Amino acid sequence: MRPPGRRWSTATGATSRVPPAPATPSAGAAARPSAATACSSSTRRSGTSSTTDPRCPSMTSDGTAALSCAGIRASYGPVQVLFDAGLTVEQGEKVALLGPNGVGKSTLLKVIGGLLRPDDGSVHLGGVDVTRMPTRKRVDLGLCQVVGQATFPSLTVAENLAMHGYTSGSRRWTKEAVEAALAVFPRLHARRDQPASNLSGGERQMLALAKAIVAEPKLLVIDEFSLGLAPVVVGGLMELVRRLNERGSAVLLVEQSVNVALSLVDRVYMMEKGEIIAEDTAAELAADPERVRALMLGGHAVPEGAQA
Ligand SMILES: Nc1ncnc2c1ncn2[C@@H]1O[C@H](COP(=O)(O)OP(=O)(O)OP(=O)(O)O)[C@@H](O)[C@H]1O
C-alpha cells in the first residue's frame, strides 16, 4: 500500500494537491495558470543504484524495472495470438507498443493486467512476479490500466474517480485527489454529480485518464487514448500523461497514431504477428519515417507515396 498525501510540485517550488493544468483549453488551461512541474524527467530515469530525487521524494529508483514481461505466449481458445512476446518499461520511462491492427498489442496488455492468463512466460511489476496473481493484486502493486473510455456508467463522475483511491487507504486523501482530478478537467467538474453514462465519448476518455491522478500508479498502461478524439483533447490528455510521468508513473502506451506516440514516449517496441520485431528510441524512429511506415504496414509492400 502506498503512502497517501503526495503533492504536485509547481515551478515556483510550492506544492499543491492540484496538479498543474494541461496546456489546452479543453483540459482546463484557460481556467488555470500554467505551471511546469519542478521535477525533471532526466533526474528520474532508472539507474543501477538506488537514487531519490530530493525535490520529488515520492520517486525512488532502485534499478528494478517498472514492468518486465518475457516469453509471453497467449491464446484465445485454440488460436495462439502471442508468440514469445516480451518488453521492459524502466521506472520513470515512457514506452509505446506500436504495430498494425490485430497483431496482439491489446492482448499483451490483457496479460499484463491479469485479464488473460498466458500459456507461457512471465510478467513482473517492480520486480514482483505477478504472472499468476489476480488483477486486484497487480493494482495494489501500483498498476493502473486505462482502456478506451472504460468507466462505470451508473456511477457519477466523482464516484468513478473515488473508486480509484482505495489503494491509498485514506478517505481524506481520496477526497482531495478527486478534487485535484476534477480541477484538471472543468468539463468533468461541471458534471461531477451526473452519471458517467451521460458523458460524451471525449469526456468519458478524460474521466478514464483522470482516474490515474487519483490512483497515482507506478505503472500507467494506456490502450488507444487518442482514438476518435479531437486533436485539442488529445493534446490535453498527452500533457496530463507527461505530468503523471514526471511525478513518477512509468507509462506503457498502445497507440494507433504514430505521431502521438512518437511525440510522447522515450522508446518504442514494434509488434508484428504476436512478436516484438523491433525496438528503438522514439527520436531515432521519428527521424526515419520510411522505416516507421514499413513497420506499421506489417511487412506488406509499401506503395509509393503511402502514409503511415
Ligand atoms: N476475445 C477474443 N477472442 C478471440 N479472438 C480475439 C479476442 N480478442 C482479440 N482476438 C484476436 O486476437 C488477435 C489480436 O487482437 P488484439 O486486439 O490483441 O490486436 P491489436 O494489435 O491490439 O489490434 P488493434 O490495433 O486493431 O486494436 C486478433 O486476430 C483478434 O481478432
| Ligand 1: residue whose CA is nearest its atom 20 | 102
| Ligand 1: residue whose CA is nearest its atom 11 | 102
| Ligand 1: residue whose CA is nearest its atom 28 | 102
Q: Is residue 50 part of a domain?
A: no
CA 302 – CA 148 distance, rounded (Å): 30
Lowest mean pLDDT among 9-13, 108-112, 175-179, 227-231: 9-13
CA 91 – CA 89 distance, rounded (Å): 7
SS3 state at 136: helix
Per the CB < 8 A criterion, the answer to whether 56 and 6 are in contact is no
Name the residue type at position 232.
V
- Say if ligand 1 is within 6 A of residue 103 CB: yes
Ligand 1 atom nearest the C-alpha of 274 is 14
What is the rounded average pLDDT for all residues in the chain? 77
* Arithmetic mean of pLDDT, 235-249: 87
Q: Is residue 95 part of a domain?
A: yes
Range of the domain at 217: 9-43+65-296
Per the CB < 8 A criterion, the answer to whether 112 and 88 are in contact is no
The predicted pLDDT at position 9 comes to 38
Q: Is residue 179 part of a domain?
A: yes
Pick 110 or 210 by higher pLDDT. 110
Ligand 1 pocket test target in 80, 106, 252 with most atoms within 8 Å of CB? 106
| Grid cell locating 225 | 487514448
Q: Is residue 76 part of a domain?
A: yes
- The tally of domains found in the chain comes to 1
Q: Is residue 302 part of a domain?
A: no
Dist. CA 1 → ligand 1 center (Å): 33
| Ligand 1: residue whose CA is nearest its atom 24 | 101
Predicted complex: ipTM over 0.90: yes
* Arithmetic mean of pLDDT, 45-71: 54
Give residue-wise pLDDT tens across range 158-197: 999 988 777 666 777 788 888 888 888 888 999 999 999 9
Ligand 1 atom nearest the C-alpha of 103 is 21
Give residue-wise pLDDT tens across range 271-285: 999 999 999 999 999
Give residue-wise pLDDT tens across range 134-149: 999 999 999 999 886 7
| Ligand 1: residue whose CA is nearest its atom 13 | 102
CATH number at residue 115: 3.40.50.300
If pLDDT is split at 50, 70 and 90, which confidence band does 105 have?
A: very high
Q: Is residue 151 part of a domain?
A: yes
Strands of the chain, DSSP E = 8-9, 15-16, 51-52, 60-61, 67-76, 79-89, 94-98, 120-125, 128-129, 143-147, 219-223, 250-254, 267-272, 275-281
DSSP-based helix, strand, coil % in the chain, nearest 5: 35, 25, 40
The predicted pLDDT at position 132 comes to 94
Q: What values do phi and psi take at 281, rounded to 5?
A: -75, 155
Q: Which residues contact 136 (CB under 8 A, 6 or more apart)?
A: none
Ligand 1 pocket test target in 76, 97, 275 with most atoms within 8 Å of CB? 76
| Residue 104 DSSP symbol | S
CA 140 – CA 178 distance, rounded (Å): 19
Q: Is residue 308 part of a domain?
A: no
Q: Is residue 301 part of a domain?
A: no
User: Can you say whether residue 54 is alpha, beta or left, with left for phi > 0 and alpha for psi between -120 and 50 degrees?
Assistant: alpha
The position carrying cell 490502450 is 223
